[in-house]
A and B are shown apart, each in its own frame.
Chain A
Amino acid sequence: MSNNASPQKSTDLHIGAAVPGCQKKDPILVADHIKKTFGGLTAVDVEHLEVPKNAITALIGPNGAGKTTLFNLLTGFDTPDTGTWSLMGNSLSGVPSFKVAKLGQVRTFQLTKALGLLTVLENMKLGAKDQKGENLLTALVPAIWRKQDKEIEVKALELLSRFKLDAKKDDFAASLSGGQRKLLEMARALMTDPVLVMLDEPMAGVNPALTQSLLDHVLDLKKQGMTVLFVEHDMHMVRHIADWVVVMAEGKIVAEGPPDTVMKEQAVIDAYLGSHQDTDLGEVTGRIKIIKDGGQA
C-alpha cells in the first residue's frame, strides 16, 4: 500500500503569473471579497481565490492566519461580513452548511469529530446522502429504506477496508485512537460522494507511520477525480502531495504557486518567520528532519 514514489503532480494549473488571486484554468471553487471580522480583528480578508479542479491544494500559513476561519466561511459554518463564492458555478453565499455538504463540498474538522457512542459502521452510514429512511415518516416503513441501507452498508464496508478500519466496524468510535478517528472522519466524508474535500489539518496529532497512509488516501482522492483543499502546518507533507499552495498571513493571501517555487518566496518566508527574524530558515529544515526521525513538532 506504501506509495513512497513521488506522486504524480498536476502542473500547469494557472493562467498568467502565479500571484495571489491568480486565475486557474479549471477552477472548482471561486471566492471573491471574503471578509470576516471579529470585533476589531480582521480574521479573513481574501480578495480573490480560485481552487483548481482535480488537484490537491494546500492552504498554509502561520497560526492565526485565518485558515480555519476561511474554511468555516466557505463551508457555511460561519457567515462572512462580505463576499461571494461558488462551487462549480453554484453560488454558496449564505447557503447553510448542510446544503453546502449536499452540493458536494464536504469538510473535516481540525479537532476530529468522531461520533463517539455510535459504532464505526454507523458513523460511516451516516455519511451517505439522500437516504430514504432519514425522513421521519418513511423511517417507520423499513420496506422503503432497507434495500438502500444494505447498499450503503456494502459501500461503507468497502471504504472501511480501504482505510483498514473494517475490523473495528462494530466498536464504538469513542474506542478508536486519535489517528484512527482521523481516518474514520475522512472515510465518513467520502461516503457523501464529494467533489471537493476540505481537510482541516488532517495530519495533526498523527504518528509518522499513519501519516504515510493518510497521505496515500489523500492522493487516492485525486486519482478518483476529487479535488482536495487542505490546511496543514507540516511542510513536508505539503511539498510531498500538494499540486498548488496558497499561503495566508494575517487573513490575506500573500502568495500562491506550485509548492517548490512558493516556499522560496520572500512573502512566505516572512509570513512564517516574520516574528523570529533572529532564527533563520534552518529552523524550518530542522523541523522537517525531526519529523523524519519519528518525532512530532
Chain B
Amino acid sequence: MDWGSILNNTLQGLLTPTTLAFSLAALGLAMHFGFAGLLNFGIAGFMAIGGYGYAIAVLTFGLPWWAGMLFGIVGSIIFALILGIPTLRLRGDYLAIVTIASAEIIRLLFLTTAFTDVTGSADGLFGFNTRTDGSGFQNANPLPAGSYGAGPFTYNEQTLWVLIFGIIMLVVGVVLLWALMRSPWGRVIKGIREDEDAIRALGKNVFAYKMQALVIGGVYGAMGGIVYATFANVSPGVFVTSLTFFIWTSLLLGGAATILGPVIGSILFWTLQAFLTNVLSEVAISGILPVSTTQASTLRFVLVGVGLMLLVIYRPQGIFGDKRELTFVK
C-alpha cells in the first residue's frame, strides 16, 4: 500500500472546489434545519437550480458570468417561494416529503429530452465558464497562467481562481449567517424551530419568518450549485438525492445549529471521502479485501450511511453543537 499517495490525495480533499461548494449548501441546510427547523430534503434541487440557472443564463441568454449567477440565485428564490407558499403552513414533516419530491422533479425536468436545446438533457451543460466573447467566469480570471502552491496543494491558475471565488463566497456566507443568527431576527427563527405556536402567540408573523428562512437557505444552496458549476459540468447525474444526504451528513457531522459546523463538517466529510476512496481501492488491489476496485469505491457510500446513522444516534448535536442542544431528543 502506497501510504504516501493516500496521504497526498487525502490532504488534497481538504481544499477543493467541491468542498467549498458543498460547504455553502450545508450552510443553507443549517439555516433551514438547524435554525428554522425546516426539514428540507431537497437541497440538491436548490443547488441544481443555482448551477443550471447560471449555465443556462450564460449559454442560452448570453449573459456575462456574474449576471448568470444572479439569474441562478433569482431562480432559487422563486423556487423557494413556490415551494413555501403551500407547504409552510403545514406541519414540518410534510415539508420534508414535498422538498424531496420537488428536488426530483427539478432534476427530471433537467433530464428530460423535451428541453434538450436548453438543458442538454442527460449530457448536461458545459463550456459556460470560458466564453469566446470574453464574458465567461474563467475569462475574468486575473491570475496569470502557471502553477501555484506546493505539495498536495498545487493548483493551476483556473482551479486557484475557482478556489478564491469559492472562499470569498463562503466567507461572505458565514459572516452573513452569523450576523443574522445573533440578531433578534435569528432569535425569532430559533424560537420558531422550538414551537411556532408560542411565537405566533407573541405576535410574530411565523409564516413570513419561515418563508424568509426558506429563501435564504435556498440562496445558499443555489450558491453551492453555482460554485460547483464554476469548475465542473452541470448534469442531472450530479444533483441526485444522494447529494442531499451527503450534505445532510456534512451538516450533522459539524453540528446543525452552528455556523462553522457545516463548513468544518463538509471539509471533514470530503476529506474522509477522499481518504476512503484511496484506502479502499488500495486495499482491494492488494487483495486484503476480497472485492474489486469498483466494489471498493461503492463501499465508501455504505460506510457513509453507517456513519450518518451512528452520528444521529450517538452525537446528534454534531462536533460543534452544544452538548445540551440535542436537536433530535425532545
B257 contacts which chain A residues (CB < 8 A)?
A: 117
Indicate whether A291 reaches chain B with its CB closer than 8 angstroms.
no
Indicate whether B197 reaches chain A with its CB closer than 8 angstroms.
yes
What is the size category of the interface that chain B forms with chain A? Answer: 20 to 34
Tell me which of B176, B188, B327 contacts A140 (CB under 8 A).
Answer: B176
CB contact under 8 A between A136 and B184, given known A98-B205, A126-B199: no
Indicate whether A133 reaches chain B with its CB closer than 8 angstroms.
yes
CB contact under 8 A between A118 and B187, given known A109-B197, A113-B195, A140-B179: yes
Tell me which of B185, B202, B206, B330 contacts A133 (CB under 8 A).
Answer: B185
Please report the number of residue pairs spanning A and B whose Cβ atoms sit closer than 8 angstroms. 105
- Is the beta-carbon distance between B212 and A115 smaller than 8 angstroms? no
- Is the beta-carbon distance between A117 and B325 smaller than 8 angstroms? yes
- Is the beta-carbon distance between B180 and A140 smaller than 8 angstroms? yes
Nearest to B196 among chain A residues (CB) is A113
Indicate whether A240 reaches chain B with its CB closer than 8 angstroms.
no
- Is the beta-carbon distance between A118 and B194 smaller than 8 angstroms? yes
Q: How far is the CB of A70 from chain B (nearest CB, A)?
A: 16
CB contact under 8 A between A115 and B191, given known A129-B203, A192-B202, A192-B203: yes
A114 contacts which chain B residues (CB < 8 A)?
A: 198
The CA-CA distance from A145 to B179 in the complex, in Å, is: 12
Indicate whether A142 reaches chain B with its CB closer than 8 angstroms.
yes
CB contact under 8 A between A134 and B212, given known A109-B198, A118-B191, A126-B187: no
Indicate whether B201 reaches chain A with its CB closer than 8 angstroms.
yes
Indicate whether B324 reaches chain A with its CB closer than 8 angstroms.
yes
Indicate whether A135 reaches chain B with its CB closer than 8 angstroms.
yes
What is the size category of the interface that chain A forms with chain B? Answer: 35 or more
The CA-CA distance from A180 to B116 in the complex, in Å, is: 62
Nearest to A115 among chain B residues (CB) is B194
CB contact under 8 A between A126 and B185, given known A115-B191, A117-B190: no
Indicate whether A75 reaches chain B with its CB closer than 8 angstroms.
yes
Contact residues of A between 142 and 193, Cβ < 8 Å to B: 142, 145, 149, 172, 174-175, 185, 188-189, 191-192
- Is the beta-carbon distance between A98 and B190 smaller than 8 angstroms? no
- Is the beta-carbon distance between B188 and A134 smaller than 8 angstroms? yes
A142 contacts which chain B residues (CB < 8 A)?
A: 179, 183
- Is the beta-carbon distance between B184 and A149 smaller than 8 angstroms? yes
- Is the beta-carbon distance between B202 and A188 smaller than 8 angstroms? yes
Indicate whether A106 reaches chain B with its CB closer than 8 angstroms.
yes
- Is the beta-carbon distance between A116 and B203 smaller than 8 angstroms? no
B contacts with A: majority SS: helix
A115 contacts which chain B residues (CB < 8 A)?
A: 190-191, 194-195, 198-199
Q: How far is the CB of A72 from chain B (nearest CB, A)?
A: 10
The CA-CA distance from A140 to B178 in the complex, in Å, is: 9
Indicate whether B50 reaches chain A with its CB closer than 8 angstroms.
no
Residue-wise interface mask of B (301-330) relative to A, using a CB-CB cutoff of 8 A (1 in contact, 0 not): 000000000000000000000001101001
Contact residues of B between 201 and 217, Cβ < 8 Å to A: 201-206, 212
- Is the beta-carbon distance between B190 and A118 smaller than 8 angstroms? yes
Indicate whether B186 reaches chain A with its CB closer than 8 angstroms.
yes
A129 contacts which chain B residues (CB < 8 A)?
A: 203
B195 contacts which chain A residues (CB < 8 A)?
A: 113, 115
The CA-CA distance from A75 to B198 in the complex, in Å, is: 12
Q: How far is the CB of B196 from chain A (nearest CB, A)?
A: 10
The CA-CA distance from A252 to B69 in the complex, in Å, is: 61
Indicate whether A272 reaches chain B with its CB closer than 8 angstroms.
no
Contact residues of A between 92 and 115, Cβ < 8 Å to B: 96-99, 101-102, 106-109, 113-115
- Is the beta-carbon distance between A109 and B180 smaller than 8 angstroms? no
Q: How far is the CB of B98 from chain A (nearest CB, A)?
A: 23
Indicate whether A42 reaches chain B with its CB closer than 8 angstroms.
no
CB-based closest 7 A-B pairs: A133-B184, A101-B203, A139-B185, A139-B183, A113-B198, A115-B194, A102-B203
Hey, which bits of chain A sit against chain B, CB under 8 A?
75, 77, 96-99, 101-102, 106-109, 113-118, 122-123, 125-127, 129, 131-136, 139-140, 142, 145, 149, 172, 174-175, 185, 188-189, 191-192
A-B contact pairs, 19 of them (CB 8 A): A96-B205, A98-B200, A98-B206, A99-B203, A107-B201, A113-B195, A113-B201, A115-B194, A117-B193, A117-B325, A117-B327, A118-B194, A125-B184, A133-B185, A134-B184, A134-B187, A145-B184, A185-B198, A192-B203
